[in-house]
Amino acid sequence: MKTIEDLGDLRGKRVLVRSDFNVPLDGTTITDDGRIRAALPTLQALLGAGARVVVTAHLGRPKGEGFEEKYSLAPVAARLSELLGQPVALAKDLVGPSAQETVAALADGEIALLENVRFDARETSKDEAQRSALADELAALADAYVSDGFGVVHRKQASVYDVALKLPHAVGKLVLNEVSSLRKATDDPERPYVVVLGGSKVSDKLGVISNLLGKADRLVIGGGMLFTFLAAQGHTVGASLLEADQIDTVKGYLEQAAASGVEIVLPVDIRVGDTFAADTSVAVVAADSIPDGKIGLDIGPESEALFASKIADAKTVVWNGPAGVFEFEAFAGGTKAVAQALIDAGAAGGFSIVGGGDSAAAVRILGFDEAKFGHISTGGGASLEFLEGKTLPGIAVLED
């Protein structure tokens, strides 16, 4: 893949950058600006080179029928301006008159942000001709294209895939760092290689589990998905989240792991509540005897110690998905224990990867120092598909 440096002299050139600014909002207040901060190295490099930077990005899931106030990138433009220390012009549309005027007004070393690319239904269309038409309009605003939104590179979308076919293109610093970091877990990883999986549904992780059973030394299972594993072992799980239609698949995974020498680590105790609520009563029960009516919401204290011991010697450790409902203080212990275990493994010489999505959010929300992890991915779904060994369209299109 070509890098920004391979694009040559960029002074005076219009460079279209696809970033991922899909940040969480409370009204118009950004509650986690991690994805914006992750984009800064690429944007600063381009601005420093004298480029006229035009950024396109998405936020949320608008209907694709035009402007929707709650999905406007205005809060992102304001925060990006603060972080860059210079004005960020926000176009009122994506490729219309405002976008054209805003881009035309840029001077060398200035930056503009186009409105939410998903306000245009062609961005995510399955119709290649529709995507290509939008990509033509985006390409008309630029002289070169830089892909820097790792959270969307697993999607064949107009601003991710099609526009790269129409302009000289390069990989941004964020995406390059993501790919090189994740390859440490896929291309001959240092061992022991430990993968910690959590999150609510085992069905979301089927592909990565299947792929990792042939690569990882140890799979540590937490989150809501653990209850399907417990059920596959013949245990009752009370009122906990259960994907009954996946029990047979998980049984197959357990058998495959046993046959291939891959250790699957499950909790030995569970923190349960009566309801899915922050103020529910909390009890700790054995993982193989969850009472009827009780909801498992986190791993228990013995499991925290067990998980930490199984991560401690890892030379490569990947974590994707919280161990419990960390948003509720009473059920954040498991996720905190996993995060600390990754930090400790890193301090002992291992390389840790936090696989984006809720895990990355948990690191920040729970107050951990991001610098103590080897790599924190900005793309949950993209990082999972990378670990599955899938071809990511937004990466493949950059490989000349």
The answer to whether 48 is a known ligand-binding residue is: no
The CA distance from 83 to 328, in Å, is 30
The answer to whether 359 is a known ligand-binding residue is: yes
The alpha carbon of residue 142 and the mean position of all alpha carbons in its chain are separated, in whole angstroms, by 28
The CA distance from 146 to 296, in Å, is 44
The answer to whether 14 is a known ligand-binding residue is: no
The answer to whether 166 is a known ligand-binding residue is: no
The CA distance from 51 to 5, in Å, is 12
Phi, psi (deg, nearest 5) at residue 53: -90, 130
Query: What's the residue count for the chain?
Result: 400
Buried b (16+ CB within 10 A) or exposed e, 241-263: bbbeebbebbbebeeebeeeebe
The answer to whether 390 is a known ligand-binding residue is: no
- Among 92, 166, 201, 364, the active-site one is 201
- Give the contacts of 208 (CB within 8 A, at least 6 positions apart): 195, 197, 320, 384, 387, 388
Is position 35 annotated as part of the catalytic site?
yes
The answer to whether 162 is a known ligand-binding residue is: no
Give the SS3 label for residue 42. helix
| Burial class for 85, CB neighbours closer than 10 Å (0-12, 13-18, 19+) | exposed
- Among 18, 35, 310, 336, the active-site one is 35
The CA distance from 274 to 132, in Å, is 52
The answer to whether 178 is a known ligand-binding residue is: no
The CA distance from 32 to 341, in Å, is 23
The answer to whether 60 is a known ligand-binding residue is: yes
Residue 316's identity, in one-letter code, is T
Angle between helices 34-48 and 173-186 (to 10 degrees): 120
The answer to whether 357 is a known ligand-binding residue is: yes
- Among 172, 238, 357, 394, the active-site one is 357
- Among 64, 96, 346, 381, the active-site one is 381
Is position 357 annotated as part of the catalytic site?
yes
The answer to whether 154 is a known ligand-binding residue is: no
The answer to whether 59 is a known ligand-binding residue is: yes
Q: Is residue 220 within a helix (H) or strand (E), and if so which, with residue range? A: strand 218-221
Beta bridge partners of 171: 3, 147
Contact yes or no for 14/54 (Cβ under 8 A): yes
The answer to whether 211 is a known ligand-binding residue is: no
Is position 381 annotated as part of the catalytic site?
yes
The answer to whether 20 is a known ligand-binding residue is: yes
Annotated binding site for (2R)-3-phosphoglycerate: 35, 118, 155
Catalytic residue annotation: 35, 201, 357, 381
Annotated binding site for substrate: 20-22, 35, 58-61, 118, 155
Annotated binding site for ATP: 205, 296, 327, 356-359
Annotated binding site: 20-22, 35, 58-61, 118, 155, 205, 296, 327, 356-359
